């Protein structure tokens, strides 16, 4: 038997904002990494994100396993950027007073 080998293309793409997404979907790489790290199978990930293609999820998991240090570095940069944006948003639109009022209202009911 002669089995031809072929390289499977990585289904990852970077959008205009620099976010890595899976295949033709809008699902971020971070979502698949977190689900996989939590023990989800490829099938469970597709069940959670039905716009994903099962083959793309398997290829993404293979990419994660082969490139773990680069994926972890991307994840750290992504989380740092999200925290920076959160802090900027919180400084511009403080929510502490709103949260206090909501807690007070919840305790009255």
Determine the Cα–Cα distance for residues 52 and 21; give it in Å rounded to an integer: 10
pLDDT at site 34: 97
CB 30 within 8 A of CB 36: no
Q: How far is CA 3 from CA 6, 8, 49, in A?
A: 10, 15, 33
pLDDT at site 1: 61
Q: Under CATH, what is the fold of the domain 12-108?
A: Arc Repressor Mutant, subunit A (1.10.10)
Q: Which parts of the chain sit beneath pLDDT 70? A: 1-2, 109
Tokens at 65, concatenated = 């396993």
pLDDT at site 29: 98
pLDDT at site 59: 97
pLDDT at site 93: 84
Q: What is the pTM of this model?
A: 0.78
């Amino acid at each position: 038997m002669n089995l031809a080998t072929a390289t499977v293309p990585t289904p990852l793409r970077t959008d205009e904002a620099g976010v890595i997404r899976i295949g033709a979907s809008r699902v971020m790489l971070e979502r698949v990494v977190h689900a996989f790290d939590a023990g989800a199978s490829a099938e469970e990930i597709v069940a959670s994100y039905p716009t994903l293609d099962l083959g793309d999820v398997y290829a993404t998991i293979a990419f994660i396993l082969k490139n773990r240090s680069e994926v972890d570095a991307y994840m750290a940069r992504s989380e740092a950027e999200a925290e920076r944006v959160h802090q900027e948003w919180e400084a511009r639109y403080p929510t502490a007073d709103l949260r206090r009022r909501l807690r007070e209202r919840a305790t009255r009911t």
